[in-house]
Amino acid sequence: MQLNHLNLSVKDVPATRTLFETYFGFTCNDPKLNDTLSVLNGSDGFILVLMNQRMNEHGNHTYPDTFHIGFYLEDETAVKNMWEQLKNGGIEPEQAPQIMRKTFGFYFSFDTFMVEVTTPIKA
């Protein structure tokens, strides 16, 4: 069994699509590039669906405080480089990369969700 996809409910589909394409290597293969729905493919076959919150007028439009999506990078240098790329792109992570439990990384908020960028600390 393999996890196939994740559907994120967001306020701004185009901006969120750009985030994942620019910094996390996703590609949009959805011919209907619009502000209501985008289907993104990861390099490993994982599918990320971005759906505008307005599409579903009923239900919860907020995530729990600890909800986040995470990306593992190859080493601390890659984490630091990603932090710099995000800052240079106008995205302000709330913290600089740091040791967090047994990993090195950082979190940042975007649209309606939080992203973790981290790498395991090598012993």
Helices (H) and strands (E) in the chain, counts: 2, 8
Model pLDDT for residues 81-122, shown as the tens digit of each residue: 999 999 999 998 988 999 998 999 999 999 989 999 999 998
Contact between 71 and 86 under an 8 Å Cβ cutoff? The reply is no
Percent of the chain with pLDDT over 70: 89
CB of 108 within 8 A of CB of 91?
A: yes
Q: Which residues pair with 10 in a beta bridge?
A: 52
Q: Does domain 5-55 match CATH 3.30.720.120?
A: yes
Q: What is the mean pLDDT of residues 24-50?
A: 87
Per-residue model confidence (pLDDT) at position 23 = 96
Over residues 68-78, the pLDDT tens digits come to 999 999 999 99
pTM of the model: 0.86
Strands 5-10, 68-72: pairing is unpaired
List 72's β-bridge partners, or say none: 118
Give the max Cα distance, the chain. 49
Phi, psi at 34, each rounded to 5°: -150, -175
pLDDT given at position 108: 95
- Whether residue 41 is predicted with pLDDT greater than 90 in this model: the reply is yes
The superfamily in CATH containing domain 68-120 is: 2,3-Dihydroxybiphenyl 1,2-Dioxygenase, domain 1 (3.10.180.10)
Asked whether this chain's domains 5-55 and 68-120 adopt the same fold, the reply is no
Predicted pLDDT at 116: 95
Higher pLDDT, 63 or 24: 24
Which sequence spans correspond to the domains of the chain?
Answer: 5-55, 68-120
pLDDT value, residue 56: 59
Per-residue pLDDT at 61: 64
The secondary element (H helix, E strand) that includes residue 13 is helix 13-24
How far apart (Å, rounded) are the C-alpha atoms in residues 93 and 85? 11
First to last CA, the chain: 31
